Structure 1
Amino acid sequence: MKLFMLGSSGLVGSTCYSKLLLEKTPPEIVTFTRRRLNLLGGTERVSDLKDLASQMVDLEADTAFCAIGTTIKKAKTRAAFEEIDLNLPLRFAVAAKARGVENFHLLTALGADAASKQYYLRIKGLVENEIKTLGFRSLHIYRPSLLLGHRQDFRLGEELAAGLYRRFEGLYPKAFDKYRPIEVDKLSSFIIRKLQENEPGTHVWENQEMLKG
Structure 2
Amino acid sequence: MAALTGGGPQTPSVVVGPVDLAARLDEALAVQALAFGLSEDEIDVRRHIVYRHLMCPGAHALGALTESGRLVGFVYGMPNDRTHWWSTVVEPYLRRSGTDSWLDDSFVITELHVHPGYQGRGIGRSLITTITDGVDQPRSILSAIDTESPARGLYRALGYHDLARQVMFPSAPSPYAVMGALLPLLREK
Give your verdict on TM over 0.5.
Answer: no
Give the structure with the higher percent strand.
Answer: 2
TM-score normalised by the chain length of structure 1? 0.32
In terms of Rg, which structure is larger? 1
